[in-house]
Amino acid sequence: MPLPSSSKALRLALFDLDHTLLPIDSDVSWANELARLGLVDPEWQRRRNDEFYEDYKAGVLDIEAFLAFQLGPLGEHPRHRLEAWRADFLARVIFPAIHDPARALVQRHKDEGFRCAVVTATNDFITRPIAQAFGIDQLIATEVETDAKGEFTGRHKGLPNFREGKVTRVAQWLALEGLGLEDFNESWFYSDSMNDLPLLARVSHPVATNPDERLQAHAQAQGWPILELFKSSEA
């Protein structure tokens, strides 16, 4: 789709991550990695993952319960060991799943002078290197709490970056520069999920990207563009 060409305009491009820029879910994939490493019981992990994912798709996810499940293991191991496991996980699972159409979408916005940010509910420990792999420095994600020594506590800090929380967290980021969404001539948000409807409804250019069935139906009813970056997706 064509992008604005005026170099004087304030322009913003926001990108969800899982099933939007990535054809997989980095949260679910990391949980599977913990099971592969023997750090959690594989059967229990798989069952809870499936339950939370079904709740997410249905729009009824208890974000606090999910974060307790997802972040708890981070508090059980030294940070240097977690970072080594993460590096291997990213190299084997995530980086090969970054495909050219997603890279090109981001690059097109960057070339047109947009401010770009990844806006994801997935925690920043997992997603910061992924955002950087797309050449995006600004990450707005659920933040993992650390103690005085920099070790993870297994809890989140601040407002989870989920549903309405994404609107608040984006507003907080822009406010640091004295800006609000209303100050942008063009604001774009790419997402696959109905859970992101609060932020999609606030930008001037919402784009349903690889949308789930509920978001696709909503986008069609609203006349929003639908973008398919991938032929298929996997959890």
What lies within 8 Å, CB to CB, of 195 at 6+ separation is 56, 59, 61, 121, 162, 163
Q: What are 206's two structure tokens? A: 């919402």
What is the four-CA torsion angle of 19, 129, 1, 209, rounded to 10 degrees? 10
CA distance 184 to 12: 7
How many helical (H) and strand (E) elements, i.e. helices and strands, does the chain have?
Answer: 9, 7
| Burial class of residue 85 in the structure, from the number of CB atoms within 10 Å of its CB (0-12 exposed, 13-18 middle, 19+ buried) | middle
Question: Length of the chain in residues, anyone?
Answer: 235
166, 17 Cβ separation under 8 angstroms: no
Per the annotation, the verdict on 16 as an active-site residue is: yes
* DSSP states along 140-164: EEEEEEE-TTS-EEEEEESS-SSTH
CA distance 193 to 93: 22
Per the annotation, the verdict on 18 as an active-site residue is: yes
Given 16, 25, 196, 212, which residue is catalytic? 16
List active site positions: 16, 18
